[in-house]
Amino acid sequence: MKISKEEVEHVAVLARLRFSKTEIERFVDQLNNILGYMDQLGKLETSAVDPTFHAVAQKNVFREDAVRPSLDVDLTLSNGPDPDRSFFRVPKIIE
């Protein structure tokens, strides 16, 4: 499969990344090189194979829904680029 310039631009928007024109062109080459290598997987017949999402099989892990102490609010806000009282301020979202 080949990835086009338009697809790279679309994926960049999905990934919330912005690139210059030259960067996009470099990505088209590099991603095609890498994806070309991935194409070898097509040689394998896998229609009857279950996918593995966890290598060490596990069941769901449950715990009591009990109230426990959580991180201190002021401490948590201390890493925020723009904290205000108990909020994280961000640029405007709606007009």
Partner 1 sequence: MDLFQMTAHHLGELLRRKEVTSKEITLSVFERIQKVENRIHSFITLLPEQALKQAEEADARIQKGDAEPLTGIPVVLKDLICTRGIRTTCGSHILENFVPTYDATVTTRLKQAGVVFVGKANMDEFAMGSSTENSYFGPTRNPWDLDRIPGGSSGGSAAAVAADECILSLGSDTGGSIRQPAACCGIVGLKPTYGRVSRYGLVAFASSLDQIGPFAKDIQDVALMLNAISGYEPRDSTSVDLPVPDYSKSLTNDVRGMILGVPREAFGEGIASEVEATVREAIRTLEKLGAKMVDISLPHSEYAVAVYYIIAPAEASSNLARYDGVKYGFRSGGTQDLLDMYMETRSQGFGSEVKRRIMLGTYALSAGYYDAYYRKASQVRTLIGKDFARAFTQCDAIILPTAPTPAFKLGEKVDDPLQMYLSDIYTIPCNLAGLPGLSLPCGFDKSGLPIGLQVLGNHFQEEKILRVAYTYEQNTDHHLRKPNL
The footprint of partner 1 (CB under 8 A) covers: 1, 3, 7-8, 11-12, 14-19, 27, 30-31, 33-34, 37-38, 40-42, 44, 46, 49-56, 58, 61, 63, 71-72, 75-76, 78-82, 88, 90-93
SS3 49: coil
- The pair of three-digit structure tokens given for residue 68, joined into one six-digit string: 């426990």
Q: How far is the CB of 15 from partner 1 (least distance, A)?
A: 4
Q: How far is the CB of 85 from partner 1 (least distance, A)?
A: 15
SS3 88: strand
Q: How far is the CB of 71 from partner 1 (least distance, A)?
A: 6
Q: How far is the CB of 24 from partner 1 (least distance, A)?
A: 10
- Which of 23, 42, 33 has the alpha carbon at shortest distance from 3? 33
SS3 83: strand
Measured distance CA(37)–CA(7) in Å, rounded: 19
DSSP state at residue 78: T
Nearer to partner 1, 33 or 65 (CB): 33
